[in-house]
Amino acid sequence: MSHITLITGSTLGGAEYVADHLADLLAQEGHQTDIVNQADLSELRLDSVWLVVCSTHGAGEFPDNIQPFVQQLSELKPDLSSLQYGIIGLGDSSYDTFCAAAKNLEQQLTSLGATRLGERLDIDVSQDPVPEDPAENWLAEWKNSLCE
Ligand SMILES: Cc1cc2nc3c(=O)[nH]c(=O)nc-3n(C[C@H](O)[C@H](O)[C@H](O)COP(=O)(O)O)c2cc1C
């Protein structure tokens, strides 16, 4: 069983609800989970798998609650070569900057050496008004990579 840290970037609460739902499902499978809504690099476990759930706001901007964490990553450039992570973006495809925050964070984590488990999921809330549904489907596949 794995320890999974769910890190959220959310302005209106949607990404937080998705993370809550996924944490419940992971716990039902026997995994240990922490949900972190104000991520601070110094407090995150590197021996945990990170599952980032991040929406996009502004013109492709990060939600306020995750901006300090993104700043820490770019300034401190931690060695994340031992880290495995998954990532889910929430966005609206009517924006040119569809899921830009999740895409940028994925690039950042990868450039710091982290290994992505599974593919990034981009949830289009204009097509999927209940984002927990596609997230749950994605998790069914993603959780298999935890045991490999
Ligand atoms: C003011 C505003 C700006 C937004 N900008 C973007 C954007 O640039 N790209 C995108 O994909 N979605 C954008 N969205 C859509 C949000 O990402 C989407 O509604 C998401 O579900 C919000 O998640 P949250 O409740 O966790 O904040 C924007 C929404 C609002 C209200």
SS3 70: helix
Domain count, the chain: 1
Index of the ligand 1 atom closest to the CA of residue 16: 26
So what's the pLDDT on residue 148? Answer: 56
84's tokens = 């495995």
CA of 47 to the centre of ligand 1 (A): 31
59: phi then psi, degrees, rounded to nearest 5: -100, 75
So what's the pLDDT on residue 147? Answer: 66
CA of 127 to the centre of ligand 1 (A): 13
Please give the residue range of the domain that contains residue 78: 3-146
So what's the pLDDT on residue 106? Answer: 98
CATH at 72: 3.40.50.360
- How far apart CA 12 and CA 45 sit, in angstroms, is 26
So what's the pLDDT on residue 95? Answer: 97
The pLDDT profile of the chain, 148 residues, written as one tens digit per residue, is 899 999 999 999 999 999 999 999 999 999 999 999 999 999 999 999 999 999 999 999 999 999 999 999 999 999 999 999 999 999 999 999 999 999 999 999 999 999 999 999 999 999 999 999 999 999 999 999 986 5
CA of 20 to the centre of ligand 1 (A): 19
Q: Are strands 121-124 and 84-91 parallel, antiparallel or unpaired?
A: parallel
DSSP 41-109: GGGS-TTSEEEEEEE-BTTTBPPGGGHHHHHHHHHH----TT-EEEEEEEE-TTSTTTTHHHHHHHHHH
